[in-house]
């Protein structure tokens, strides 16, 4: 089931939306269609309102004209003046009856011209009520597709005007057809135009894809390099370049780590092979030759010596591995001057003929792990003792500088070449002058000491010794720094 999950994920991705360009085109097209529909609806509504308002204006203007011409023209002449532009009229007087245009209008609420019980000239006004009096504002009514206006003239005649607004619906239908056809044609043109526009706008993404493929093919030096921070694609390009830089740095670090691990395993196996080979040779000698007591004791002593050497190497390897993973320090307030004196006194008890000394102005308290710092000092003093080979001096100086406790171990031995002062802190590295296998060094002491110093927030370096004060040799200076708590 777990093996099928990536395939299912790929299937879900493949059935998702189309390309970004396609999604942008469809989104813009849908938005454009919605805007066109909204525009067409607004135009249609405004057009209908405007046309019907024009029709009502025609009726009211004709009614106003009739009021002005009332009494100066005959009924038929007056109707001839009022008709036109689709306006029809009917004029009813008490003495002459009703006169109408060729198509007589039928006012709302009446059964015919001058019909009903009310007799000629007594047709009802708007909404079935009495007609508006002379000079009163007339009200336009609707019945079906016709608009009516009934007004009472000053002469007492009743004028009924009407107009058919069915052409408004016909005009609206024609306009809608034109809008649909024009909108569809416009959307088709917009679809193809968006293809070009979106392609140009998204061209930087194609460049990113090309660069990514080139990097995947092995050209890791390629970068976009032209991103602007004030644009979306520019910020994406800058982030892409930063990501590739980080990936390249991580890959380079991983490769260096692999090379260092291979070298470390090779050196460690070589170091372990020597004591194991000596142990095996001594054991085979005991089994094969059955030597006498003196030779047997010598072989057993050699086996113990080689096993001790192998055990010490394995212990150093484990210590180095634990320090890399992070070791929990048992911190306490420690006087590093007193700690240095104790470690120097332990070296003096070995009685090798080396001259030892401690230079310090007074107590210097540091929050540190006394056991670990003592381990660092022991390692530095052991190296110095082996370097002077019992014919020189080793001095430990302790001082406070710029918020740090500085412990320097200076010897009068052959010193460390300038080009080797950083290399001596690598694992399983020994200098030819004073760190051979016979002296007991496996090449891990300084690496472990530096790791302990950095775990405390300090450092361990091989400093420039300058001129030797006693003229016995250039000597070496190993400087340990620790964060200072108080003086």
Are 317 and 344 in the same domain? no
Q: How many beta carbons lie within 10 A of that of residue 110, not counting itself?
A: 18
Residue 222 belongs to a domain: no
Helix, strand, or coil (residue 8): helix
Residue 135's alpha-carbon distances to 81, 131, 138, 140, in angstroms, are 19, 11, 9, 15
| 332 torsion bin: left (phi>0), alpha (psi -120 to 50), beta (else) | beta
Task: Answer yes or no: do 274 and 387 share one domain.
Answer: no
Structural tokens at position 266: 């090779």
Q: Tokens 């079906």 correspond to what residue?
A: 144
Query: What is the pLDDT at residue 111?
Result: 43
Report the run of H or E that residue 300 belongs to, with start and end.
helix 293-325
Q: How many CA atoms lie within 13 A of 211 on its CB side?
A: 17
Q: Judge contact between 350 and 312, C-beta under 8 A.
A: no
Q: Is residue 213 part of a domain?
A: no
What counts of helices (H) and strands (E) characterise the chain? 10, 12
pLDDT in tens, the chain (487 residues): 444 444 444 444 444 456 778 888 888 899 999 999 999 999 999 988 898 888 888 888 888 888 888 878 887 888 888 888 888 888 888 777 787 776 555 555 554 444 433 443 344 444 444 555 554 456 788 887 788 888 888 888 888 888 888 888 888 888 899 989 999 999 999 988 888 888 887 777 777 788 878 877 877 777 777 666 777 777 877 888 888 888 888 888 888 878 867 776 776 676 677 677 777 777 877 777 777 777 777 778 878 877 877 777 777 677 766 666 666 788 899 999 999 999 998 888 876 778 899 998 888 899 998 888 988 998 899 888 888 887 888 999 999 988 899 999 999 888 888 888 888 887 766 665 444 444 445 677 788 888 888 888 899 998 888 755 444 456 889 999 999 865 4
- Structural domain boundaries, residue 38: 1-201
Q: Does residue 209 sit within a domain?
A: no
Flag whether 219 is in a domain. Answer: no
Boundary-marking domain end, from 305, 322, 339: 322
pTM for the structure as a whole? 0.47
Which two three-digit tokens encode residue 109? 């609420």
Query: 284: domain CATH number?
Result: 1.10.287.130
The neighbouring-strand residues paired with 483 are 404
Answer for the pair 331, 306: CB distance below 8 angstroms, yes or no: no
- 387: how many CB neighbours lie within 10 A of its CB? 24
CATH code, domain with 428:
3.30.565.10
The C-alpha angle with vertex 60 and arms to 59 and 66, in degrees rounded to 5, equals 90
Same domain, 23 and 105: yes
Same domain for 5 and 133? yes
Indicate the DSSP class of residue 365. E
Of 72, 118, 77, 78, nearest in space to 94 by CA:
118
Task: In whole angstroms, give the CA distance from residue 429 to residue 379.
Answer: 15
Question: Residue 3: which residues within 8 A CB-CB, separation 6 or more?
Answer: none
Asked whether residue 194 falls in the same domain as residue 251, the answer is no
86 Ramachandran zone, left/alpha/beta (phi>0; psi -120 to 50): left
Distance CA 242, CA 62 (A): 80
* CB 446 within 8 Å of CB 375: no
Residues 355 and 267 in one domain: no
Distance between CA atoms of residues 178 and 189, nearest Å: 16
CA distance 172 to 159: 31
Residue 101 structure tokens: 């245009």
Q: Are residues 268 and 125 in the same domain?
A: no
Residue 417 lies in a domain: yes
> Of 269, 296, 322, which residue sits at a domain end?
322
User: Is residue 221 in some structural domain?
Assistant: no
pLDDT, residue 487, reads 43
CA distance 364 to 354: 26
104, 182: one domain: yes
**Position 214 in a domain:** no
**Could you tell me if 377 and 417 lie in one domain?**
yes
Domain assignment present for residue 220? The answer is no
Last residue of a domain, one of 268, 290, 322: 322
Q: Are residues 1 and 143 in the same domain?
A: yes
Q: Are residues 5 and 138 in the same domain?
A: yes
Give the count of beta carbons closer than 10 Å to the beta carbon of residue 3.
6
314 and 415 fall within a common domain: no
Taking alpha carbons only, the member of 443, 412, 404, 438 closest to residue 426 is 443
Domain count of the chain?
A: 3
Helix (H, G, I), strand (E, B) or coil at 459: strand
């Amino acid at each position: 089931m777990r093996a099928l999950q990536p395939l299912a994920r790929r299937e879900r991705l493949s059935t998702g939306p189309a390309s970004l360009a396609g999604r942008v085109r469809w989104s813009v097209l849908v938005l454009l269609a919605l805007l066109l529909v909204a525009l067409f609806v607004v135009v249609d509504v405004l057009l209908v309102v405007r046309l019907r308002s024009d029709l009502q204006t025609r009726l009211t203007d004709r009614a106003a004209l009739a009021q002005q011409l009332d009494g100066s023209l005959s009924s038929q002449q007056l109707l001839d003046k009022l008709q036109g532009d689709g306006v029809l009229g009917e004029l009813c007087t008490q003495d002459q009856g009703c006169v109408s245009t060729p198509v007589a209008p039928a006012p709302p609420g009446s059964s015919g011209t001058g019909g009903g019980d009310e007799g000629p000239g007594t047709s009802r006004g708007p909404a079935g009520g009495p007609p508006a009096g002379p000079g009163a504002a007339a009200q336009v009514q609707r019945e079906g597709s016709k608009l009516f206006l009934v007004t009472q003239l000053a002469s007492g005649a009743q004028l009924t005007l009407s107009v058919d607004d069915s052409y408004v619906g016909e005009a609206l239908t024609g306009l809608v057809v034109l809008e649909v056809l024009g909108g569809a044609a416009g959307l088709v043109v917009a679809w193809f135009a968006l293809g070009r526009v979106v392609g140009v706008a998204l061209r930087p993404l194609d460049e990113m894809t090309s660069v990514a493929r080139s990097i995947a093919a092995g050209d890791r030096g390629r970068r976009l390099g032209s991103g602007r921070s004030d644009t979306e694609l520019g910020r994406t390009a800058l982030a892409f370049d930063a990501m590739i830089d980080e990936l390249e740095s991580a890959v380079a670090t991983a490769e260096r780590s692999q090379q260092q691990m291979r070298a470390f395993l090779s050196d460690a196996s070589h170091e372990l092979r020597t004591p194991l080979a000596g142990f095996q040779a001594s054991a085979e000698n005991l089994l094969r030759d059955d030597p006498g007591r003196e030779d047997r004791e010598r072989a057993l002593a050699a086996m113990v010596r080689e096993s001790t050497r192998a055990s010490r190497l394995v212990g150093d390897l484990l210590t180095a591995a634990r320090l890399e993973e992070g070791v929990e320090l048992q911190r306490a307030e420690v006087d590093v001057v007193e700690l240095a004196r104790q470690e120097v006194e332990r070296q003096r008890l070995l009685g090798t003929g080396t001259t030892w000394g401690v230079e310090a102005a007074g107590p210097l308290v540091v929050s540190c792990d006394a056991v670990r710092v003592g381990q660092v000092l022991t390692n530095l003093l052991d190296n110095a003792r082996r370097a002077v080979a019992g014919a020189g001096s080793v001095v430990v100086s302790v001082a406070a500088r710029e918020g740090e406790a500085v412990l320097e171990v200076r010897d009068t031995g052959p010193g460390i070449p300038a080009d080797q002062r950083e290399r001596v802190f690598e694992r399983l590295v020994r200098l030819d002058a004073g760190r051979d296998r016979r002296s007991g060094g496996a090449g891990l002491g300084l690496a472990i000491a530096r790791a302990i110093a950095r775990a405390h927030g300090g450092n361990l370096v091989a400093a420039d010794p300058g001129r030797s004060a006693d003229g016995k040799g250039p000597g070496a200076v190993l400087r340990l720094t620790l964060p200072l708590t108080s003086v």
